[in-house]
Structure 1
Amino acid sequence: MEPEAGTAGADGTEMAAPEPGRCAYFVARKNRFCKMIPAPGKRFCGEHGQQEEENDRKRIPCPLDPKHTVYEDQLQKHLKKCNSREKPKPVYFVQDINAGLKNVAEIPEKQVPISSLSKEELQNLIIKLKKASNGLKLCLKEQILSHQALQEALNDPKNGESAFKHLKQQASILGNMEKLHLLGPGRCFVEFGAGRGKLSHWVDVALQNVENVHFLLVERATTRFKVDGKHKGRDSIFERLQVDIQHLCLKKVPILEKKKLPVVGIGKHLCGAATDLALRCLVESYTTCCEGENEEPATKRSRTDKTEVASNNSADNESNKDNWKPVAGIVIALCCHHKCDWTHYVGREFFKSVGLGPLEFHYFQRMSSWATCGMRETTAKLSTSEESEDQTNDTEEHEQTFSGTDGGSDTLHGILTVEERKEIGFLCKLLIDHGRIEYLQQRGYKAALQYYTESTVSLENVLLTAVPSLSLIPEPTT
């Protein structure tokens, strides 16, 4: 039974009475009364009705989600409408279509933490890492660009520091897309890990006078503060796909099935394994199904582009149809390599080609966090209490919390310096990303890695871009 108002709580302090018109149940965990509104004539809300002595109806935990209760005599009715019930799968849901590894025998057993490795074991891992990295391009090209669509927002004095940094990243992503001629009409932009949909929002702003543009925002969780509502009444079409990328079959999305538009895959800080799932979604499950299905000539590029695609030559048109790719390009800002997974990783063949396997991958993806562990204190101060709710809710996951990886300041104390850890972490990230580049190259894409923003703006400042090698879109003119 709930404590009476005015009696002492668990900590010995005097408890106030419940607010007028509110539930009389005292929630010991929160050290306050429940704030739900009971039915007329009742002292308790529906959740705590079992506490009312005169109520003979029994409440039981919901079998679908024991975090809430239900009247036992209304259980069957509740199960039909409970928010935790299994909902019908959408037409584009195909179980594990982008999951990757099928042979579970390859998956290594849970390994000991890096901090538990002996000095010799750690040194052997580092030797393998440096040997595998030998010959890789260690200095990435800086491609820090901007786009006029965000200039007004970038100059808005109301922006806090965190919001300004996000805008700079989005502007550079759009600038890189423009450089690759991916901003144009007759496209479907698929934003993976869309969250609130800010990146798609700015792409739409950049293309506000362009026809036949569609957006698919892929996000497995329900999201608050979405910006989708800003696009109602516009010519572009926004559609949310609430599905895990692992199970997304783009070929079965109605708009793509109907229009067969060239797809541009985009993402801002697509976390860990989600990047590999997205690449496989675009390059394998979608591309394999769609190649050869398109019978229409390539769509003309925007009139604002200086370089026009020659479309009046019949021989060129015939060649274009042969070379058409359903995926026009990929632009993804990479993030959180320590959350990668060998099961989903697209670069497994590259790792095997340099003598590495799932065991080394396990440790390298853990060690990748060392690349940024020395700068985390600065990052944690990005959001200030003075910033608006709109800004603070836009903070990236890797800026809010840091996984319990083996990158702490007390890890490997006396074996490696902070600078050495940062260098090794960088090599781990580069090696994992290079596997992704080789995966794309082997499938007919011209792929590259570049720094798209300064490290002071984001610690995760590497952008992966890819366009078909035999692209219909001409190379940018210098």
Structure 2
Amino acid sequence: MAARGPPGAAMPGQEPEPEPGRCAHFVLRKRRFCRMIPAPGRRFCGEHGHEEEQNDRKRIPCPLDPKHTVYEDQLQKHLKKCNSREKPKPVYFVQDINAGLKDVVEIPEKQVPLSSLSLEELQNLIIKLKKASNGLELHLKEQILSHQALQEALSDPKNGESAFKHLKQQSSILGNMEKLHLLGPGRCFVEFGAGRGKLSHWVDIALENVENVQFLLVERATTRFKVDGKHKRRDSIFERLQVDIQHLCLNKVPILEKKKLPVVGIGKHLCGAATDLALRCLVESYTTSCDGEDEEPAPKRCRAAQTEEAPHKSAGNESTAEDRKPVAGIVIALCCHHKCDWTHYVGREFFKSIGLGPVEFHYFQRMSSWATCGMQETTSKVSTSEDSQDQTNDTEEHEHTLSRTASGSDTLQGILSVEERKEIGCLCKRLIDHGRIEYLQQQGYKAALQYYTEPAVSLENVLLTAVPNPPLIPEPTV
């Protein structure tokens, strides 16, 4: 029996024809006919209606998105319902609420690339880096844990190597959350940079028999193959917030306004500046009013002082920002320090205290990519595969970006060896992360960095954890 081609495909010696009831426009780029359905009695759909014989209606590019066209005489009607129109901002959108620096004087001008620095300039930067790193905790504690919620998935032979690595990381993140007593009832888990929502998915599995749990998945882009839609438990609610972290005011999210649950901020490989935006979102804008951009933030006070001055009110009274103590903990797997930005960085005061500024920060964040140059070979293999677009759903974002950053420093190979570059890159990462730790400590948190997985699983294997000091959620008594 002869093999049949796809619908609309031409047999040898025949002209290709559209599928029955489909548009007759042939899309050259896709080598097939348009699959839109034309109006009754028409051969072409609305997008390609200008090809219809005896059709005197003119189609023009949409002014909101020129990738599609519209009948000129229906332009005003189309603009009111076009998917590319500016939509009303959600109530929790507050412009630049977590952006950080607003004084443009302090923002450095565009710096020259590392490859353009002279040998003397590069050596001076490295001297400054090593001097600033003296006394810092450079050898982090290994906290490679696991959680029983993922044991079945980890032992499933159907999982490939990439899926297995992600599961190992998620298992360790949950293990660290459990060690900090953050997995429990009566709280809201906010996953920053949620993507498909896999981390929240496993937290929900771990809390299968726990009541009064809420999940907020923050992601600025639309995402395919989301897993949060699979959850049908009535006592576990998933809600997506499609907003940039920079503009997210958690105080105004309706479910948090209503339930006033303690928040646990989580993230798996939250790239660069997104980590700083998330930290500020949690420990600053969520504990202060979001009304008005010019409003001064509340003065910084230690957690113990807040506890003494503003004890918890009874459930019948309204809670204020002072006595709610809404952030129960923070657990974020860090990555892509080369994407950090001085404007958003929360550790600027720390940098200034050791005699460094935006210029040094710029070069240190670029040099931080040297710590993960080993990704370069892996990345090239992934990007050359035929279905690399689909693989982005199971591949961390940094695995696609690090090779480009790392390769930009190839001109320095004659100056520094690969091992020296990796060592310097690691110093840059630890220095940037230490600024985040100092920031959290000043805000009244007990913060720490630890290795949460092996380098063979992910070169970006550092986890930032923070809990209020004293803790918002008391440790369970045995």
Normalization by structure 2: what TM-score?
0.86
Q: Distance in 1 between matches of 2:215 and 2:28?
A: 47
Deviation at 1:37, TM superposition (A): 3.9
Q: Distance in 2 between matches of 1:414 and 1:188?
A: 51
Deviation at 1:398, TM superposition (A): 1.2
Q: What secondary structure is seen at the aligned counterpart in 1 of 2:420?
A: helix
Deviations 1:300-337 (A, max 9, x none): xxxxxxxxxxxxxxxxxxxxx99862101000000111
Deviations 1:398-445 (A, max 9, x none): 123436425446331311111111111111111111100000000100
Q: Is the 8 A contact 2:115 2:408 kept in 1?
A: no
1:85 matched to which residue of 2?
Answer: 85
Matched, 1:94 2:94: yes
Q: Residue type of the partner of 1:19?
A: P
Q: Is the 8 A contact 1:113 1:406 kept in 2?
A: no
Moved more, 196-205 or 380-389: 380-389
Deviation at 1:473, TM superposition (A): 3.7
Q: Is the 8 A contact 2:217 2:239 kept in 1?
A: yes
Q: Residue type of the partner of 1:429?
A: K
Q: Is the 8 A contact 2:93 2:247 kept in 1?
A: yes
Q: Distance in 2 between matches of 1:16 and 1:349?
A: 70
Deviation at 1:461, TM superposition (A): 0.5
Aligned residues: 444
Matched, 1:295 2:278: no
Structure 1 gap ranges (5+): 1-13, 298-320
1:172 matched to which residue of 2?
Answer: 172
Deviations 1:368-413 (A, max 9, x none): 1110113421355579989999976221111234364254463313
Deviation at 1:230, TM superposition (A): 1.9
Deviation at 1:172, TM superposition (A): 0.3
Matches within 5 A, 1:320-359: 325-359=325-359
Matches within 5 A, 1:158-169: 158-169=158-169
Matched, 1:238 2:231: no
1:426 matched to which residue of 2?
Answer: 426
Q: Distance in 1 between matches of 2:454 and 2:108?
A: 36
- Kindly report the root-mean-square deviation, in angstroms, between the aligned alpha carbons of the 2 structures: 2.9
Matches within 5 A, 1:26-425: 26-30=26-30, 33-289=33-289, 295-296=313-314, 325-378=325-378, 381=381, 393-402=393-402, 404-405=404-405, 407-408=407-408, 410-425=410-425
1:444 matched to which residue of 2?
Answer: 444
- TM-aligned CA distance change 1:294 to 1:232, over 3 Å: farther
Q: Distance in 1 between matches of 2:391 and 2:207?
A: 24
Q: Distance in 1 between matches of 2:448 and 2:110?
A: 33
Deviation at 1:363, TM superposition (A): 1.0
- TM-aligned CA distance change 1:476 to 1:342, over 3 Å: farther
- TM-aligned CA distance change 1:90 to 1:158, over 3 Å: same
Deviation at 1:31, TM superposition (A): 5.6
Q: Residue type of the partner of 1:17?
A: P
Q: Is the 8 A contact 1:115 1:406 kept in 2?
A: no
Q: What secondary structure is seen at the aligned counterpart in 1 of 2:329?
A: strand
Q: Distance in 2 between matches of 1:390 and 1:119?
A: 42
- TM-aligned CA distance change 1:388 to 1:69, over 3 Å: closer
- TM-aligned CA distance change 1:362 to 1:392, over 3 Å: closer
Normalization by structure 1: what TM-score?
0.86
Deviations 1:202-247 (A, max 9, x none): 1111111111111111111111111112212331111111111111
